[in-house]
Amino acid sequence: NIEPRLEGLDDIYPQYKLLIKRFEKIDLFDNSSENIEFIKLFIENISTAGFGNNIEKKEDSFFEIVKGLKILISLTERDYENYIKNFSFEKIKSKFKDERNKYFEGLEKNIDLISKQVVTFPLTFAATAFASYQVKDKPIILLLVFIAYLLYTFIAFKILGITSYNIKCLGSDIDKEETDIEKNFNKNSLDFKDDFDKIKNKTKKIKKLLLYLKIILILM
C-alpha cells in the first residue's frame, strides 16, 4: 500500500488471490497445505525469467516481481502442469504394464477356446460321416444324425460368435486406451507403440482365424 508506483499498474488483487490459491493445495483430509512443487517452480521462474535482473536499485526487485506477477503465475502454471503430467506418466507406464499383461491373458483365453473348437471339428465331422454311412439305408435315423450335426454346428457358431465378441470388446478397450494416452501424453505416447502394435497384430490374427473357422464350419 505504501508503493506509489502500484497506481500505474492494473489491479493486481486477482493475481494476488490466485497466487495464494496456487501456493496451497487440499490434501485427502480436506486440509490446506503448502504446495511445495508450485512454490519451487515459482521461485525458479523468478530467476529464469529474469525478473529484477536489469534494475539499478536492488530494493526495486520486489516491485518488478509484482509488476510481472500475471506472467510469472502463467509460466509457473505451465511448468507445474508439465510436472504433474510427467509424474502421472510414470504411474501410467507402471499401470499399463499390468493392463498389457491382462490384454495378452484375455487373448490367450480366447485362443484356448478356439483351439477346443478346432479339435472338435474333425472328430465331430468324422463321427457324423461314419454314423451316416452306417445308417444310410435307414432314412429316419440318418435324418436324426443330420439334425444332431446341425445342432452341433449351431452351437459351434454361437461359441465362435462369443469369442468374436470378446475379441471385439478387447479391441475397443485397446483403441480407447491408446487414444487416451495419445491425448494426455502426446510427447511420450511413442513409448507404448510397440506394446499396442503387438496386441493389435495378435488381435488381427485371431480375427482372421475365427473367419477361417466359420468358413470351414459352413463347408463341413
- Residue 87 CA: distances (Å) to CA of 71, 82, 93, 94, 149: 24, 8, 10, 11, 59
Whole-number pLDDT of residue 52? 60
Structural contact between residues 75 and 49, judged by C-beta atoms closer than 8 angstroms = yes
Q: What is the residue-level pLDDT of the chain in tens, covering all 220 positions? A: 677 787 777 888 888 888 888 888 876 566 777 888 888 889 888 888 776 666 667 777 788 888 888 888 888 888 888 777 766 566 676 777 777 777 778 888 877 777 777 667 777 777 777 777 777 777 787 787 788 878 888 888 888 888 888 888 888 888 888 887 777 666 666 777 888 888 888 888 888 888 888 888 788 7
pTM for the predicted model, two decimal places: 0.50
Q: How far apart (Å, rounded) are the C-alpha atoms in residues 192 and 96?
A: 9
How much is the pLDDT for 127?
Answer: 75
> What would the grid cell of residue 206 be?
485371431
d(CA 93, CA 86): 11
Q: Would you state the pLDDT for residue 37?
A: 86
The packing angle between helices 69-134 and 36-48, to 10°, is 120
Q: Express the helix, strand and coil content of the chain in percent, nearest 5 each.
A: 85, 5, 15
Q: In the prediction, which pLDDT does 18 show?
A: 86
Dihedrals phi, psi of 35, to nearest 5 degrees: -90, 85
User: How many whole angstroms from its chain centre is CA 202?
Assistant: 18
214 phi and psi angles, rounded to 5 deg: -65, -40
